[in-house]
Amino acid sequence: MSPLTLCTSLPPYAFYLGPFRFESEIDIPELVGSTGSGEMKVNIRRGGVPRAINGAVLSGDSCEVALTEYLLSIPGTARYYVRNGNEVRLDIAPGAPIANVSTYLLGSVFGVLCHQNGLLPLHASAVESAGVVTAFLGDSGAGKSTLAACLQRRGHHIVSDDICLLQPQSDSERNAMRVIPVAGWLKLWNQSLQFLGETPIEENRVFSTDDKFRLFLPDKGSRPLRLGRVLFLDKAADTQAQPTLRPVALLDAIAGLMETTYAGYVPTLAGQKSRIFLQCAQVFQHTHAWRLTVPWDLDRMESVLDLLESNFLDTIGSKSDP
């Protein structure tokens, strides 16, 4: 697990993440050496953050949402303004830890950029086997990142963590939904790192006060990959319960996907909930949905991995879903 490094060049910096090329006035250590297609250029500048957005809808005390604008205020960290899917401006609070500033930039702000560009970000981790992707969806703490890390140990390739980015197909295309790789790292709690035999590095802490760390991954390229299936993660109350897989009905799968859309409140408040529904429905034109119920105990992880490999991952792309 490599520690973060600062960019040695002078601003403006150029960073890549998935489809985006960030031309930035601030260093983003997490993205040093990262790759991506860079087909969508985003300018990141300091200053010029408005006090409010005219006609915006409020979401709690921290953000405002309009069709092409977004304002996020995090006390003690920064204020972020996103516009038209190609511009980010931020005012950084004095003394704010850089880890906190970049975590919001690569989380909430990245999700907003995806929505403003018509992409579909899911709250999911995903692995690839034989060119086909399986996405694991769930709330924070569901075990998505730990599961992906354990599957990587068995030879499967991680293509996303926390945000699984989908590229909707046009009406004329009949191919399965494509996943744009955005996996520069996993975000894991210290307990999961210890389970994996990894040592946390202070410089890789996600938030300055949390016990969660980034585990950086080797670059696997930026070529979009076919989404083969989505698995909704549930935790079994009984730590001794056997992991189970069961299919999910189409309407339930669409509803579940909408609920696990990353920063889903943004398109909802911007009046674009119908777009999200249509994109989620499109996912299941060529993709199966399953519910994976797993025990809480990490010591039962091997049985979960065995179940997945026996049904899906060892021969993914060469046999049908059970």
Encode the chain (322 residues) as per-residue pLDDT tens digits: 555 555 555 568 999 999 999 999 999 989 988 888 889 999 999 999 999 999 999 998 899 999 999 999 999 999 999 999 999 999 999 999 998 999 999 999 999 999 999 999 999 999 998 888 999 998 877 789 999 999 999 989 999 998 999 998 765 456 678 999 997 888 999 989 988 889 888 888 898 888 899 988 887 777 899 999 999 999 888 878 889 999 999 999 999 999 999 999 999 999 999 999 999 999 999 899 999 998 878 888 999 999 999 887 654 444 444 4
pTM score of the predicted model: 0.90
Residue of 74, 53, 76 lying closest to 64 (CA atoms): 53
141/98 same-domain check: no
Distances (CA, A) of 110 to 5, 19, 21, 42: 21, 11, 12, 10
Number of domains in the chain: 2
253/141 same-domain check: yes
Give the whole-angstrom CA distance, residue 181 versus residue 202.
26
Residue of 286, 267, 184, 182 lying closest to 227 (CA atoms): 286
215/238 same-domain check: yes
Which one of 116, 141, 175 terminates a domain?
116
Sign of CA dihedral 267, 269, 270, 274: positive
Domain, as residue range, for 35: 13-116
48/167 same-domain check: no
148/246 same-domain check: yes
Q: What is the dihedral of CA 96, 48, 59, 261, to 10 degrees?
A: -80
Those residues whose C-beta lies under 8 Å from the C-beta of residue 310, and which sit 6 or more positions away, are none
96/150 same-domain check: no
Which one of 116, 135, 154 terminates a domain?
116
Which one of 116, 145, 163 terminates a domain?
116
